[in-house]
Amino acid sequence: MYHILKQKRKTVSIYVEEDLSVVVKVPQHLSKKHIDEILASHKQQIEKMIAKKESAKQKSDWRVTNSILYLGQDREIEWVSAGSGRAQIKLTDHKLMIALSDQGNLEEAEILIQTFFKEQAKTLFTRLTEKYTSLLGLKYSKISIRKQKTRWGSCSAKGNLSYNVRLLCAEEKMIEYIVLHEVMHLRHFNHGKVFWEDIEKLMPDYKQRAQYFKHFGQDFIL
C-alpha cells in the first residue's frame, strides 16, 4: 500500500512503516504519472525495504516472539489470568507478567503494554531530565511521552521536552544520551559547535551512544 504525501520539498523520500505500508513524500508539483514512474523505477529497492522491515519485525515484535525489549534486555512475556481482578503488568528481573481477564486478547494486551511503557518512561525520563538540568543549571517546562516513528526526542522553544516511549527498549546508559541531548537544547537551540562541546564535557563517549540508536533503533518495537 502506498501513501503519497505532497509537500513543499525538492526531493522524493520513500520509507516503509511498521505496518509495511510505503510512504512516499514528493514535491507538490509532481504529477501522478511522474510519481508512478518513480515508483516503478524503484520497485526492487522498495521490495527490499519491505522485506528488511518485515524481517526486523519478525525478530522484535512481541506478538511474534512472546518477549519484549525493556531497558536493553529481552523480557519473556508470561501470560497469567487476572481472574476477577483488573488487567495489569508486573516486571520481574527476567519477565514481564501480563495478567488479563482474557489471555488471548492481544488488543487488550497491547493497550496495557503501551500504558505500562508510557508510565515507566515518564518516571525514568523525568529522573534523568532532572539529573541533567540540575548539573547544567537549567529549567524545563514539562515532559511529554509520545510514540514516534523517527524522532527520539525534541525540545521546544518554550522549554517543553518530548521523549519517544520506544526509548524504553534501550539500555539506560544510552537513554541518558538522548536526554542530555534534548536538555542541552534548553541552553543551545541548535546543533552548533558549542552544543556538541558541552555535550562532550558531560558525556565524552556521546558519539558511541548515538551510534547505538542507528544500529539498534529499528528493533525498538512496542
Query: In whole angstroms, how large is the CA radius of gyration of the chain?
Result: 20
Q: What is the mean pLDDT of residues 134-152?
A: 94
Least confident interval from 84-88, 134-138, 189-193: 84-88
Q: What is the pLDDT of residues 6-17, one digit of tens each?
A: 998 989 999 887
Euclidean distance between CA atoms 182 and 131, whole angstroms: 13
Q: What domains lie within the chain, and their CATH numbers? A: 2-60 (no CATH), 62-113 (no CATH), 115-219 (3.30.2010.10)
pLDDT category at 222 given cuts 50, 70, 90 is confident
Cell triple for 160: 517543553
Euclidean distance between CA atoms 13 and 23, whole angstroms: 8
Sheet harboring 160-164: ordered strands across?
142-146, 160-164, 153-155
Q: What is the pLDDT of residues 88-128, one digit of tens each?
A: 999 888 899 999 887 778 888 889 999 999 999 999 999 99
Write the DSSP symbol of residue 63.
Answer: H
Residue 218 confidence (pLDDT): 77
Strand intervals (E) in the chain:
2-7, 13-16, 22-27, 67-70, 73-81, 88-91, 95-100, 142-146, 153-155, 160-164
pLDDT category at 60 given cuts 50, 70, 90 is low
Sign of the CA dihedral with 142 first, then 147, 148, and 152 last: positive
List b or e across 133-144, with b for residues whose CB sees 16 or more CB atoms inside 10 angstroms.
Answer: beebeeebeebe
Residue 209 confidence (pLDDT): 96
Q: What is the pLDDT of residues 77-87, one digit of tens each?
A: 998 888 778 88
Residue 196's SS3 state is: helix
